[in-house]
Amino acid sequence: MKSAFQSQKKKTRERDRTLEVQLTAPGWCASAKASLEKLIQAGTGKNWHAVFDFDNTIVCGDIGESTLALLVREGLISIDQLPSTLAPPFRAGGRVITPASVANLAEYYEAFLSPTAHGRNDPEPLANGYVWAVEAMQGLTVAQVVEATRAVHAMSEPMKLRRIIIRPDGPSWPVPFLYPEMIELIARMIAASFQIWIVSATNVWSVRWMVQHALNPALHEHGVSHGIPPDHVIGIATLLTDDRNRLFKDSILVKEDSAYASLDMERLGELHLTSRLQFPVPTYSGKVACIWDALKQRPHFAAGDSPGDHAMLAFARNRLWIARLDKPHTQSSTATLARKNNQHRWFVQPVWCGDQPGFVSSIAEARRRFGANDTATRKSIAAWFPEQ
């Protein structure tokens, strides 16, 4: 027979599971907020897996691109140091791009994001560029990559659009900041016993640093006693080598080497990036392969913002789509995918990535924002909210 204490303890657990989950950050739009609250409530205590993209999903901006730009600006990597096999000539925008035709490695990367002649017929246009951004760092130590990430984050200001400029007349790259709403969402999920994973098409060391030194402390401020563990952060990695010419895989090293997992700079300084990738690579459908290797099952939830996340989102049971209002073609293609793939399980949250960046709580707010009535924004809104 159960004691009165055991019965009371069971009742307390059942009462706690029925407590209403609320997302209180002001940027949530009503429909996404309600769907997410319902999902968290349903998953409380069930250890469901939730998978998040990182760049432009958890943060506004791209930590991989900004880290690459800083490494170029500081002279730690340069286009003329790359082997010719890693920097082939190609035609883009009506001209031939070569190492000699660009000002620096970061500008070559920008052009290489859409290198094929297939145009809109290429279903994975950005994949080669994402991988190239990591391959271009070959020869650096992991410590150098992590230090550059730290320096980028030091420039970050919440809800402010800061940029890294290599030369005044060239492109610039936004310095990422954490979306407060995503911090809140992840904190609520962890409190409800969701298992959080990050699967990113950015170099894994930059994302892992951001998680350990930016995201996890922010989660702690929301009352989360434990953050996202290092081995739950999956990104693009090359094979690593040491002074004894041994090769290492990030996915194994992060579980076996506590100094490496905790980003100990002395340990990271002993390991150099090679030009050989670790597979599977988490870009496009490769994200599904990485998720399967890690979970051996479909995740209950996934969040993303770009076509590179489509396969991962379709693989999940529920999806949060971060709808960038400056990307109308992406919104159109994703809305089409949603209509074919359990549309009622796609939760859409608009965001603005220009001046006054951040989550957009309503279409009316989007139209009030500076610059939000341009053609691109109107098309983005129409893709998801045609009646509005």
* Burial environment of residue 41 by CB neighbours within 10 A (0 to 12, 13 to 18, 19 or more): middle
pLDDT value of residue 326: 92
Pull the structure tokens for residue 264: 């100990």
- 64-122 confidence digits (pLDDT tens): 999 999 999 999 999 999 999 999 999 988 899 999 999 999 999 999 998 788 888 88
pLDDT value of residue 11: 47
Say how far apart CA 11 and CA 292 lie, in whole Å. Answer: 37
pLDDT value of residue 120: 81
pLDDT value of residue 122: 87
Pull the structure tokens for residue 44: 């409380």
Say how far apart CA 167 and CA 10 lie, in whole Å. Answer: 63
Residues 168/202, Cβ–Cβ less than 8 Å: no
Question: Which residues of the chain carry a pLDDT beneath 50?
Answer: 1, 5, 9, 11-12, 14-17
Domains of the chain: which residue ranges? 63-174
